[in-house]
Amino acid sequence: MHKLLASIKKEIILLMRDWGGLGILFLMPSILLVTITLIQESTFQVVGEDVMPVVLVDDDQGDIGKTIQENIAKSGAIEIVTEWKNRPIDEKLARQLVSEGKYQIALVIPEGLSNKLDDRINTNVEKILKQFSMEESDSAKENISSITKDEISKIKIFFDPAAGSTFRNSVKNNIEKMLSKVETQKIYTIFEDQMGIRTDKNLLEGNAIEFDEIIAQKGEDGILPNAVQHNVPAWILFGIFFIVVPLGINIVKEKNLGTFIRIRTSPVSYATIISGKIITYLIICLIQFALMLLIARFVFPLLGLIPFKPGSHLFEMLIVVIFSAFAAIGLGILIGTVCKTQEQSAPFGAIFTIILAALGGIWVPVFVMPEVMQKLSVISPMNWGISAFYDIILRNGNLGDISKELLLLILFFAVTFLLSLWINKRNNLI
């Protein structure tokens, strides 16, 4: 036991002398956690209520423009812009403002759109009623077919070139929904006028079929997902796996300076030496975990973010951290064993960790990746770790639900560690 404690003390002293390594282990993951969460929180507006300005050019001055303005005003998240530097915005200026990135979207409602829509609806209603009465004349047929859909001008939507396809599709769907409601109301009103009846106008208010959004969790005390709940476990994992950089450098340095040979000539087994490294870096991973939780709990509210609350799953999260730490330590030992110099170990460990993070869903969620990348993500130990975290935090799971991921993580440690032993033996280092 004394020899093991001495080995752990040696590792701690080496780490304390390496301020750059300590920065990689603690400072960088903390900065990444805060920065990325702030960026994503602003982008998806999970917490904030930022108002997005939308340029509106209403050349129609009819029901269509009024309806769009009314619906936008009700949303509260969009501000209508009709002037630029105290002058009205026309179609040409709207296109210029959007193309220059001053606004993300502009709507141009063409002149006469409302009147043409009214005429088309009137003729279609007349056609239906005539067919019911079986008194349709040739002149009526001509009037009915006089206005076609192609003759109705289209609403123009100008998008910022930097706007993504998801944003564009969302905007178009919302506008189509608004216009569909307008057309339905007009058809309903014209039928009433033609048939001489009156019904309850409240029938057209709202949607006939509504959605009840339910988060499908196990039990009743699960935590509702948000950007913070996704990012905190992701960057905890990233910080844990980044220990491969200082751990790999540590092993390479011991080989190159002859420290490892001097230790091996002393009455200390290789198991004791390597156990000292494993325990030391496991403790570091636990400190990282605690530090990230404290930042997410107490610093996030100061930045306007939702505080991270693990709920009743802190113990399960701790188990995931321990198993993930073993996987990261095994990888770090393997990299330090294979690499000959620090110049090889440091960049390779950093780049390989970033690749595993990208594949594992740390940077971008796996479900939005291309199909090929989704299939490749299953080989990343970070994917196993983040999946376990999500099952615990977001799906209200238990240790039984993440047993597969925990098994994969500990097997990864066993394989990398045994491979390191074999390489050491082959090189006559043990």
How confident is the model at residue 384, as a pLDDT? 94
Amino acid sitting at position 67: T
How confident is the model at residue 144, as a pLDDT? 44
How confident is the model at residue 334, as a pLDDT? 92
Q: Per-residue confidence at 139, pLDDT binned at 50, 70, 90? A: very low
pLDDT: which is higher, 15 or 115: 115
pLDDT at 188 over 50: yes
pLDDT: which is higher, 102 or 219: 102
State the Cα–Cα distance between residues 207 and 229, nearest whole angstrom: 32
pLDDT: which is higher, 84 or 142: 84
With 0.75 as the threshold, say if the pTM is over it: no
pLDDT in tens, 251-281: 888 777 766 666 666 666 666 778 888 888 8
pLDDT in tens, 356-406: 888 888 877 777 677 788 888 889 999 999 989 988 887 778 899 899 999
DSSP for 16-73 reads HH-HHHHIIIIIHHHHHHHHHHHHHHHHHTSS--PPEEEEEEESS-SHHHHHHHHHHH
Q: Per-residue confidence at 247, pLDDT binned at 50, 70, 90? A: confident
pLDDT in tens, 61-90: 887 777 777 777 776 667 888 899 888 999
State the Cα–Cα distance between residues 282 and 380, nearest whole angstrom: 20
